[in-house]
Amino acid sequence: MTELELLGPYAFGVPSAKAILKATPADFQVEEQLDIALSGEGEHLWLWVEKQGLNTEEVAIQLSKRAKLPVRAISYAGLKDRQAITRQWFSLHLPGRQDPDFTTAETEQWKVLHTIRHHRKLQRGAHKSNTFVICLQDFQGNPQQLEERLNSIKQQGVPNYYGTQRFGREGFNLLKAQEFAEQKILPDKRHVRSRLLSSARSFLFNQVLALRVRQGIWNQIVAGDLIGFSGSHSFFPASELQANDPRFTALDIHPTLMLWGKGHLATTALAHQLETAIAIQNQPICAWLENAGLEQERRISRLVVSDLRYELHEHHIQLAFSLPVGSFATVVLRELVQLETINEGLLCAY
């Protein structure tokens, strides 16, 4: 399956410029931003780790071996790309034990930059955001047009699609999910089941968002919408908004779209019609998600790109920006240039 099939239309039209993503690991750097005050004491040791050439789970395994702990005693907030330089937090459960010495275990692929004790373990999704520093090499295009797109992204954000990485190479995970949905069965292995359910649910979200992008209403409030705040899982009816509420223009509140599951679809009017249309078109997947026990949830339709800075050079573009947890850097980059990716990876901001 193609990117256009898995995601949807571009918000600002197909870009004419081209560039290479991740020519080297240093061209893609991501760092977790934590807003938790660490106490300095407790039975959990938190580690600030820099890595490249390994994914997050592989680093967790190496930490568990060095600390002589089961892998389940190692926690992390989110997954980070293998082909990149990334900095993220891990926590180790060490009740009544001294801090392990990691200095002799470090390699060119990973090293511990800082350690601190805390009374709680690190939870998944506990970080506030991710910051990115990205270099797009071999840029070919009109610098003025690129700058216009960058300014549009600053002012409007981009459609909050789930990136192609969610669906596996060429949509493999989604295709497998559709097979299981048609057979009305679930995979036996828990991690496979979780991955396929996530792919199917994300695809339905992308389909609704793609429909609104095609209609030019992805960044507008329509009748029956449910509105959500950036960084919050709560939402409320658009009818409760006062006319011309400045928070919408300021990118503080956004329309939300369905993450399918059991329960009542809470939108009404036009918003309900759009979501129901996609659900009808994908009835086997919807039924499959419901039978798996997933509940109706919501996700905002706009991805706000914070602290966006850029430098345009003759042959490359240097970008820096921040994204909330659970969003994908590639959905920002795709609005700028047509990407050639040398090294495949997650490229998401978990």
Q: Domain ranges in the chain?
A: 36-118, 158-303
Q: What is the enclosing helix (H) or strand (E) of 146?
A: helix 143-156
Pick the CATH number of 158-303 from 3.90.79.10, 3.30.2340.10, 3.30.70.360, 3.20.20.70: 3.30.2340.10
Q: Which of 12, 328, 15, 338 is nearest to 163 (CA)?
A: 328
Q: Which of 257, 286, 283, 261 is nearest to 271 (CA)?
A: 257
Question: 254, 303 in Cβ contact below 8 A?
Answer: no
CB atoms within 10 A of CB 18: 14
In Å, how far from its chain's centre is CA 80? 10
CA pair distance 166, 119, nearest whole angstrom: 33
Q: Which of 235, 225, 215, 232 is nearest to 275 (CA)?
A: 225
- Work out whether strand 28-33 and strand 129-140 pair parallel, antiparallel, or are unpaired: antiparallel
Annotated catalytic residues are: 81
- Lookup: tokens for 215: 């209609």
Q: What's the pLDDT score for residue 152?
A: 96
CA pair distance 183, 170, nearest whole angstrom: 22
For residue 106, give the 3-state DSSP assignment.
Answer: coil
Per-residue pLDDT of the chain (350 residues; tens, 9 = 90+): 999 999 999 999 999 999 999 889 999 999 999 989 999 999 999 999 999 999 999 999 999 999 999 999 999 998 888 889 999 999 999 999 999 988 877 788 999 999 999 999 999 988 889 999 999 999 999 999 999 999 999 999 999 999 998 999 899 999 999 999 999 999 999 989 999 999 999 999 999 999 999 999 999 999 999 999 987 788 999 999 877 789 999 999 999 999 999 999 999 999 999 999 999 999 999 999 999 999 999 999 999 999 999 999 989 999 999 999 999 999 999 999 999 876 554 445 45
CA pair distance 287, 267, nearest whole angstrom: 19
- Lookup: tokens for 302: 């706009």
Q: What's the pLDDT score for residue 23?
A: 87
CB atoms within 10 A of CB 87: 17
- Lookup: tokens for 153: 């992204």
Residues 6+ apart with CB under 8 A from 37: none
For residue 289, give the 3-state DSSP assignment.
Answer: helix
Q: Which residues of 221-233 are buried (b: 16+ CB within 10 A; e: fewer)?
A: bbebbbbbebeee
Q: Return the sign of the alpha-carbon dihedral for residues 105, 111, 117, 118.
A: negative
- Work out whether strand 302-303 and strand 158-159 pair parallel, antiparallel, or are unpaired: antiparallel
CA pair distance 105, 61, nearest whole angstrom: 13
Q: Which of 153, 140, 167, 206 is nearest to 340 (CA)?
A: 140
Helices 190-214, 269-281: inter-axial angle, 10-degree rounding: 130
Residues 6+ apart with CB under 8 A from 216: none
Q: What is the DSSP letter of 161?
A: P
Note every long-range contact of 189-192, with CB atoms under 8 Å and residues 24 or more positions apart, other chains counting.
Answer: none
Q: Which amino acid is at 22?
A: K
Q: The domain 36-118: what is its CATH number?
A: 3.30.2350.20
